[in-house]
Structure 1
Amino acid sequence: MAAPSELLCYGGMDEDGALDVVSELKGKSLGGWGLLQIAGGTGLVAYSVWALVLMPGFRRVPLKLQVLEAARRGFCPAVGYELNPWLIRLSYFYAWKSGYHSQVSYLREDLWKVRLHDCKNVSVFLAPSVLSLLEKKMLEELPDDTRVVAGRFPLPSWAPSTVIGEGAERAWAYDMRTVRQAAAAKQPGTEV
């Protein structure tokens, strides 16, 4: 081990030092090791972009599976709303691969701008932070005979009519008529 007086501290490179390094490397070939380092660095950058940007959209129960499962069980039309174009393309691929591409559709639309008035079955897989806002939207727009199924996280102020599964596989079902009756009963001066 080097004596403390022999240790060098690196505090950064000044502008002249950077120019010296560039001029020293000028004219030299990369070689196999240099190409391997560039390929490894590029792969690391690509993985980082995927992990930070795309992977959060690849949820445990992704859009493709929810909509495909609805179509398999006869719920038509089966429509999914998603803003991430990569997830939409991936969902269409899985629909094509499973033979349901003509029975499902994935629309690149903002869920908050879509009118839900004609939906009879709604599957929700969103972050808990937006579920209370979604409750309000669904209460205003969905018909009484609609069933809402929430995966992974329950709707915060609605009482479910059915709960199935355990842990991350748990799902909560809500009947809009019952939800509306409960909401009306909570408001003072209203009768059910």
Structure 2
Amino acid sequence: MFALRCFTVWRTVLRSSLRSTAAGGSVISSVTLLIGSAFAGVYRLWAMFCMPGLRVPFRLKVPFLPSTKEQTLNVIKLLEGRKGHLADLGSGDGRLAFAAPSMGFQCTGFEINSMLLACSRSKAWWRGVPHTDIHFVKQDFWKASFICINVAVFLAPAVMGVLEEKLLKKLPEDARVIVCRFPFPHWPHSCTAGSGLNQVWAYDVHTAREPSRTSSHQSYFPSISSMI
């Protein structure tokens, strides 16, 4: 939304500049060109830090939204008692990934934005975090074939339906998915923590697969009324 507004303003300013230049208004055209260049610079800077790469389809592009401290604590709360590996899909600047080792997790952060990836890797190096505890990879998680029993997600509502289909096919039966702020549209959640912008939901894959199993079982065995 922010990018669209910047682009709209920049286009309007550019058109005004062209009209002013055609009318011979050199001072006005210089000012409008300066403003237009400023908006274009802001847009490019925002896109550089907050948007994924060009290889990601437009319908799956999600801008970077930093998680709050309370939100991160809620994610950790819903992962209590679980161990193993944690996959952070769209890890951003690595806020959740850096909290994972305190709970005994080994974390892999998937991030395709080069600037955010460099930021998270630099912080890991500066803090002296072992590579075995946190590993940031430049990879499009939409195409990645990962098998993990713990997954954390903070994406936009428009892609949650596509993501739940992918995870339902890829994740093992005992996997748990933690979703921040925007819940899955179809999966039944097991528990939740927080409220408002800091609310997170926990989904267990075996629970999410039960409705599909029930429907396939019912379709295989016809009802008694249909047989009479």
The answer for the alignment partner of 1:13 in structure 2 is: 21
Q: Distance in 1 between matches of 2:95 and 2:44?
A: 24
The answer for the alignment partner of 1:105 in structure 2 is: 135
Question: Structure 1, unaligned stretches of length 5 or more?
Answer: 1-10, 22-37
The answer for the alignment partner of 1:67 in structure 2 is: 97
2:45 pairs with 1:50: yes
Q: Offset at 1:182?
A: 2.8
Q: Label 1:190 to 1:175 Cα distance change in 2 as closer, same or farther (>3 A).
A: farther
Q: TM-score, normalised by structure 2?
A: 0.60
Q: Label 1:13 to 1:135 Cα distance change in 2 as closer, same or farther (>3 A).
A: closer
Work out the percentage of aligned pairs sharing the same amino acid: 31
For each residue in 1:71-124, what CA deviation from the matched residue of structure 2 results, as whole angstroms up to 9, or x when unmatched? 221112x111111111111111232344425211111111111113x2010001
In the TM superposition, what are the counterparts of 1:78-89 in structure 2 within 5 Å? Answer: 78-89=107-118
Q: Distance in 1 between matches of 2:178 and 2:138?
A: 21
Q: Offset at 1:174?
A: 0.7
Q: Is the 8 A contact 2:160 2:184 kept in 1?
A: yes
The answer for the alignment partner of 2:122 in structure 1 is: 93
Amino acid at match of 2:105: F
**SS across alignment from 1:189:** helix
Q: Is the 8 A contact 2:110 2:136 kept in 1?
A: yes
Amino acid at match of 2:180: G
Q: Offset at 1:125?
A: 1.1
Q: Distance in 2 between matches of 1:169 and 1:98?
A: 26
Q: TM-score, normalised by structure 1?
A: 0.70
Q: Distance in 2 between matches of 1:131 and 1:137?
A: 10
Q: Distance in 1 between matches of 2:117 and 2:130?
A: 12
Question: Structure 2, unaligned stretches of length 5 or more?
Answer: 1-18, 27-33, 52-62, 68-89, 222-228
In the TM superposition, what are the counterparts of 1:75-154 in structure 2 within 5 Å? Answer: 75-76=105-106, 78-102=107-131, 103-116=133-146, 118-154=147-183
Q: Distance in 2 between matches of 1:97 and 1:183?
A: 47
Q: Label 1:175 to 1:53 Cα distance change in 2 as closer, same or farther (>3 A).
A: same
**SS across alignment from 1:140:** helix
Q: Is the 8 A contact 2:110 2:138 kept in 1?
A: yes
- Structure number with greater Rg is 1
58-67 vs 182-191, greater mean Cα deviation: 182-191
RMSD, matched Cα: 2.9
Higher relative contact order (CA 8 A, sep 6+): 2
